[in-house]
Amino acid sequence: MRLLCPHPPLPRSRIFGSSMNPLAAYLVIGLGSALGGVARYGCGALAATLWPVAFPWMTILINILGSFVIGLFATLTGPDGRLLVGTLWRQFVMVGICGGYTTFSAFSLETVVLLRAGRPLAAGGNVLLSMALCLLAVWFGHRLARRLNQ
């Protein structure tokens, strides 16, 4: 019996159920997104000192990690999950932290910048790598959670 999850199992397309208290949802999402954003900013600053090359490798890594975590957490706390958490926790981690940490805008901007710099191969590589590795990551996170749920 799922004591902490008051909603019936959601269809997979509806990942983010509605909170009983909309204001609480906004607050935890704002907080999570702030945390994710600052972590992303820190990673960016680290990348600039570690390996300052003209390719957005850190954005790719950020998006991979965030995708892995959301895949893992979604299945761990999902209908068949082992981790019983309320909707607010799911919103905090998935919509908040993962959503704030990962970014589609930086990915898009960096790709266009590469195109405008006359580097179509690098741009295409950024798209292919980001898509392939992030989708693999979310799948791995999901599979790992499935294993942990058993």
Partner 1 sequence: MEWAWVIIGSALGGMARYGVSGAVARRIGETFPWGTLVVNVSGSFVIGLFGALVATGGALGGARMVGAFVMTGLCGGYTTFSSFSLQTLNLARDGEWPRALANIVASTALCLLAVWAGFALAALIPGG
What tokens were used for 45? 């600053």
Instruction: Please state the closest distance from residue 1 (CB atom) to partner 1, in A.
Output: 25
The residue (of 89 and 103) whose beta carbon lies closer to partner 1 is: 103
Tell me how far apart the alpha carbons of residues 23 and 148 are, in angstroms, rounded to a whole number. 33
The residue (of 3 and 12) whose beta carbon lies closer to partner 1 is: 12
Instruction: Please state the closest distance from residue 52 (CB atom) to partner 1, in A.
Output: 17
The residue (of 5 and 126) whose beta carbon lies closer to partner 1 is: 126
The residue (of 1 and 8) whose beta carbon lies closer to partner 1 is: 8
The residue (of 5 and 25) whose beta carbon lies closer to partner 1 is: 25
DSSP one-letter string for the chain: --SS--SPPPPTT--SPPPSSHHHHHHHHHHHHHHHHHHHHHHHHHHHHH---SS-HHHHHHHHHHHHHHHHHHHHTSTT-S----HHHHIIIIIIIIHHHS-SHHHHHHHHHHHHTT-HHHHHHHHHHHHHHHHHHHHHHHHHHHHHH-
Instruction: Please state the closest distance from residue 80 (CB atom) to partner 1, in A.
Output: 13
Residues in the site for partner 1, rule: CB under 8 A? 11-16, 18, 25-26, 29-34, 36-38, 40-41, 44, 63, 66-67, 69-71, 74, 91, 94-96, 98-109, 111-113, 116, 127, 130-131, 134-135, 137-139, 142
Instruction: Please state the closest distance from residue 74 (CB atom) to partner 1, in A.
Output: 6
Instruction: Please state the closest distance from residue 112 (CB atom) to partner 1, in A.
Output: 4
Contact of 25 with 85, CB cutoff 8 Å: no
